[in-house]
Structure 1
Amino acid sequence: MRLKDKVSLITGAGSGIGQAVALRFASEGAIVVIADRNLEAAEKTQYLIEQTGGTGHAIAVDVTQEQQVVDAIATTIQQFGRLDVLHNNAGISILKPITETTEADWDLLFNINLKGVFFGCKHAIPPMVQQGGGVIINTASELAIVGQSLYTAYCATKGGVLAFTRALSVEWAAKGIRINAICPGPIQTPMLQAEFNLASNPTAEEVATIQSIPVGRLGAPDDIARVALFLASDDAVFVHGAAIVADGGRTTL
């Protein structure tokens, strides 16, 4: 098992990519703390982990609230003795022309997608340094690299995550902290489905998206979980500040 007895904390793990990462980590022997602002969703992920013999612990966390992030990390260490892997995965999207994007929209996107990553890293790094090392994975997006209409504010947040990750990796590499980012393309999650549903013809929107992906399908959450597993494992021991794009080739077009 590639993560045997490693203690991991994953935000936004009640559904989608976060849930897939939690299940994949647990299958590889990790103890998984499942953080989500929706405690019921987190508890569902815990149940799925426990059904396969893994160890999961669900907690309610709003990543925009610094004290809740502090408490989540403290709870993880108190319960399981250490924190080996933090995956800052919680995120949202708001699709609007920039001329219709409100200050509240902008602030909400940045508070969850970027400030939440900042809080997680800020408070996970000190105990990781104290224990001799650790791994941080931040979920960015292919839209940190390319632009897309209606996603301008979202692109700004994910571009921020990517720049933040690169700088932070340089800052802490010598202390044994590996910090990397994953840039998913369109992944079949509730968030993506909600985006499709905003279109006048959701089915046509989904078909058009699939046609834009060279491999001819949407990504599955586990496609991203496998990348996260690589980054969390010792296989990635020399990987620092990377942005691993997992988008079926979409950004190559």
Structure 2
Amino acid sequence: MRLNGKISLITGAGSGIGRATAECFAREGATVVAVDVNGDAVQATQTAITTTGGNCLGLVVDVSVEEQVKRAIATTVERFGRLDILHNNAGISVLKPIIETTEADLDKLLGVNFKGVFFGCKHGIVQMLTQGGGIIINTASELGIVGQPLYSAYCATKGGVLALTRALATEWSAQNIRVNAICPGPIDTPMIHAEFNVGPDSVAEEKAVVATIPVGRLGKPEDIARVALFLATSDAEFIHGAAIVADGGKTII
């Protein structure tokens, strides 16, 4: 129960990394506010946690809309009194060469991947200042560090998350607000399988990706949830502004 009594809010909690992290935090004693744009998915996360004895409130939120993010944090505080841990995790991908990437594609990516994180940090920090501190974890990507064909716009948004994380760490560390980022590699989530399906042979696409990972498999959402758990505990209290890569060794070769 490493998070016993803590109040956490996790975006993108309807599936993948977000859901795994929500379940992990709940098992460790945290109250979880699970946020997702998909109402059915976030309800499934809430049910999975509460039926096993955890405490979870599901909220339907579009993180690209600032007022909805602000309201989600306000609701968390109204219901539970504070916000100890904020995990800005919601993200989407678009696979296109830059010459085919439309302004609408870019706006959608920026809205979820960057503005969603920015709004979460902005309003999370406002609350954390009133309570004497807190922890923010931003989901970036290995593709915020290295490039990959067809992901130029996605890479740009995730690089922005890393730059934002570093800036906020320097700005707020003295106020006991700890901001860090996780950079997952290829993780076995609905998003990556949608990416595999872009090509003509999804099985071949998956095999090609796995071949780039030294450990020989896709990551599991639980692999990233455990990194988030570490960052959410006092074990990581001297870590500020870090970009922790969890990619099975993919970026070291």
TM superposition score category, shorter chain reference: over 0.9
Q: CA deviation at 1:129?
A: 1.2
Whole-angstrom CA distance in 1 between matches of 2:175 and 2:85 = 15
* CA deviation vs aligned residue, 1:69-104 (integer Å, no higher than 9, x gap): 110000000000100000000110000000000011
2: CA distance between counterparts of 1:199 and 1:187?
Answer: 18
What's the counterpart of residue 219 of structure 1? Answer: 219
Tell me the residue number matched to 2:71.
Answer: 71
1:93 partner SS: coil
TM superposition shift of 1:200:
1.1
Are 2:252 and 1:246 aligned? no
Per the alignment, residue 207 of structure 1 pairs with 207
1:143 counterpart residue number = 143
2:110 maps to what in 1?
110
Structure 2 residue aligned with 1:193 = 193
Q: 1:67: Cα distance to partner?
A: 0.7
* 1:195 alignment partner, SS class: helix
Deviations 1:98-122 (A, max 9, x none): 0000011011101110011110010
2:9 aligned with 1:19: no
Aligned partner letter, 2:108:
L
> Helix, strand or coil for the counterpart of 1:244?
strand
Paired with 1:41 and 1:250, the residues of 2 have a C-alpha distance of 30
1:29 is matched with 29
Q: Which residue of 1 aligns with 2:41?
A: 41
Q: CA deviation at 1:133?
A: 0.7
**Residue 125 (structure 2) aligns with:** 125
Q: Distance in 1 between matches of 2:173 and 2:166?
A: 11
When normalised by structure 2's length, the TM-score is 0.99
Q: Look up the match of 1:80.
A: 80
Name the amino acid aligned to 1:42: V
Report % sequence identity.
67
CA displacement, residues 36-71 of structure 1 (integer Å, 9 cap, x when unaligned) = 011111110011111221000000100011110110
- Cα distance in 1, alignment partners of residues 90 and 110 from structure 2: 12
Look up the equivalent residue of 1:59 and give its one-letter code: L
Write the letter of the residue equivalent to 1:241: G
- Tell me the distance in 2 between the aligned counterparts of 1:2 and 1:238: 17
| 1:92 equivalent in alignment to 2:92 | yes
Ranges in structure 2 where 5+ consecutive residues have no aligned partner? none
CA distance in 2, matches of 1:181, 1:147: 18
Q: Does 1:171 align with 2:158?
A: no
Q: Separation in 1 of the partners of 2:109 and 2:200?
A: 24
CA distance in 1 between counterparts of 2:55 and 2:233 reads 18
Q: Map 1:226-237 onto structure 2 (within 5 A).
A: 226-237=226-237
Helix, strand or coil: the match of 2:24?
helix
Q: Structure 1 segments of 4 or more deviating over 3 A?
A: none
3-state secondary structure, aligned to 1:186: coil
SS at match of 2:178: strand
